[in-house]
Structure 1
Amino acid sequence: MRRKATALWNGNLKEGKGNLTTDSTVLDHTQYSFSTRFEDGVGTNPEELLAAAHAGCFTMQLSAFLTEAGFIPDELKTVATILFENGAIVRSELELSAKVPAIEESEFQALAHKAKENCPVSKAFSFEKTLHATLL
């Protein structure tokens, strides 16, 4: 399997603008710029896209592990926050809230932490990954 995205940039760092497009067209000339990355401009940025990738991958991996263990989740909601400090991405913080019928807290926590360590995006990240998991 191969997945592609294209970045186009015009101009210098601060006044320039760019756009991102994915083969699926979920991103289709989606704006990004200095202000969308370092301020509150309209558009996306690399850290936000990493957060989306980590949240999505982790949540799917946890669903797979829960299903393998005989539990069908009613809902898994993950918020991922990427921390960018001093010119480097230093951490991805996962916040999970889950509704999983009939599972014990200890098994839920073990499977959630296993998913954090084993989802392909987690494995690709060399920086710290944290997880706070809440069973509702």
Structure 2
Amino acid sequence: MNRKANAVWQGSGKDGKGQLTTQSGVLSSNPYGFNTRFESEPGTNPEELIAAAHAGCFTMALAFQLQGAGFTADELRTEAVVTLEKDGDGFTITKSALTLTAKIPGIDQAKFDELAGIAEKNCPVSKVLNAQISLNATLSA
């Protein structure tokens, strides 16, 4: 399976502007640039997209772990916060912090923690990130 996205950039690094388009069309010429990445201008940026990918990947991986163990979630809500830090002349993504709140009938805390940990370690996005990954998982009633 292959998935693709395209980036088009015009201009210099700081003053230029880009557009991102995904194969599915979810992003279609969405703007990005220095201001959307390092300031708070409207538009997206690579780190935000990685955070979305990590949250989505982990949450789906957990749903499959739960299914395999005989559970079905009422709701899995995950936030991913990706940290971009200065590294020499460039930048590095150093962390991805996952915060999960889950409503899962019939599961106990130990099984929930076990399955969430397996999902965090085995989702494909976790595997590709060369960053510290943390998981704060809460089972709510």
Aligned-partner Cα distance in 2 for 1:126–1:103: 32
Question: What's the counterpart of residue 83 of structure 2?
Answer: 83
Question: What's the counterpart of residue 11 of structure 1?
Answer: 11
RMSD of Structure 2 on Structure 1 (CA): 0.5
Question: What's the counterpart of residue 116 of structure 1?
Answer: 120
Question: What's the counterpart of residue 68 of structure 1?
Answer: 68
State the TM-score, normalizing by the size of structure 1.
Answer: 0.99
Measure how far apart 1:60 and its partner are.
Answer: 0.2
Q: Which amino acid aligns with 2:114?
A: A
**Gap runs ≥5 in structure 2:** none
Aligned-partner Cα distance in 2 for 1:103–1:125: 30
Aligned-partner Cα distance in 2 for 1:65–1:116: 10
For residues 37-62 of structure 1, give each alpha carbon's deviation from its aligned partner in whole angstroms, at most 9, with x where no partner exists.
Answer: 00001100000000000000000000
Aligned-partner Cα distance in 2 for 1:96–1:33: 30
Question: Is 1:29 matched with 2:29?
Answer: yes
Q: Which amino acid aligns with 1:46?
A: P
Question: Is 1:41 matched with 2:41?
Answer: yes
Aligned-partner Cα distance in 2 for 1:23–1:61: 22
State the TM-score, normalizing by the size of structure 2.
Answer: 0.95
Aligned residues between the structures: 136
Measure how far apart 1:126 and its partner are.
Answer: 1.6
Question: What's the counterpart of residue 57 of structure 1?
Answer: 57
Runs of 4+ residues over 2 Å off in structure 1:
none
